Structures are given as C-alpha cells and as structure tokens.
Amino acid sequence: MLADPRHSVVVILNPSWATADAPEQDAETLNLPLLEAGCRLLGVTPLALGDCRPQTSATGMPQVLQMLPLDGHLPWKDELFVQRMTQDDLRFLYLAGAWLEEDVLITALEGAARGYDIRLLSDLSAVRRESERKPMFDRLVLHGMLVTTVRQTLLEWAVCLGDSGVMGEIRQLLK
C-alpha cells in the first residue's frame, strides 16, 4: 500500500546526533537535505523532538523541520505531541533519529499500538552499536512495520499523488 503524504508525518527523534560524530555520515550531508527538499515540495512538515538545535538546511534555506520542545525519549507521554499527531488525520508515521534501539524502537511500538502505520527511515537513524541495527529491523518487521529510506519514501509519496509534475520534480531530486 502506498503511503499518502497528505496523511503522513515524519518524526525525527534527537536529530542532533547527525552532527555529533555519528557513524552515519550520509545522514546530515545527503539524506536530511534530500528529506527537507522533498518535504518542502510535497507539503509535509517533519517534526524534530528531543536533542535538536535550530539550523539552516544544507541548501541555505530555513530548515523545514518543525522543532517541538519535547523529550525525545518518550514522546507519546507528552500531550503536545499526542495532540499534534491527532489533529491532522495522520495515518502514516515515519520515524528516524537516535537512538534506533532505544528511543526510536519505543516510539515505533507505541505508535503501532495506537494504530499508526509505522515506517522507519533507516538512512536517517543511528544506533549506538552497529550490531543492534539488524535485530532492530527484524523486530520492527515482526510487528508489521516497514523499513525504508528517504529516497524510497519520496518516490512513494510522488507516485501516490499521481501528479506527473511533482513526479518529475522528485525524480530530479533523486538524481
């Protein structure tokens, strides 16, 4: 099933890890700018929770991330986050950030329990120990969650919209 960007939200937990010598070097230099550009084009506003510092995007434009001053460890316990999630008929929850085997896992499991279709952006997620990555993905899949990438997500959203102009612009971003 294709996810509709009009009913999708991207939540990045503790995004400052990307600038803190994390092993996932492509996250800040390639994947986050690609996500920002695609979200700007498709009208999706990603949320950043937890450890995050406002900055400009790699393109020099104001960052598209909406920073929410919340604890990135247990967002479902925060009323502001729950209200934000329920206000816009959101069904697809794309998760990324740090730490995959901790904060992202718990947020994903709680989101699935609340009825959201969970997708994990693997290329924007950091682990404390690389040996934790595959077991984490396996566990998410056992719970019916999908593991995807920023590139796959942007293409899926463009196809779902069925707009050839948007599709062309997304394809240009992906080159």
With a CB cutoff of 8 Å and minimum separation 6, the contacts of 5 are: 42, 43, 44, 157, 160, 161
What is the SS3 assignment for 170?
helix
According to the model, what pLDDT value does residue 71 have?
72
According to the model, what pLDDT value does residue 7 have?
96
Separation of CA 138 from chain center: 19
Closest CA to 32 of 69, 60, 57, 49: 57
Is the pTM above the cut of 0.85? yes
According to the model, what pLDDT value does residue 51 have?
76
Per-residue model confidence as pLDDT tens for the chain (175 residues): 899 999 999 999 988 775 554 555 566 678 999 999 999 999 998 999 987 765 555 555 556 788 877 777 789 999 989 998 998 889 999 999 989 999 999 999 999 999 999 999 999 999 988 999 999 999 999 999 999 999 999 999 999 999 999 999 999 999 9
β-pair partners for 48? 12, 67
According to the model, what pLDDT value does residue 29 have?
77
According to the model, what pLDDT value does residue 2 have?
94
What is the CB-side half-sphere exposure of residue 156 using CA atoms within 13 A? 18
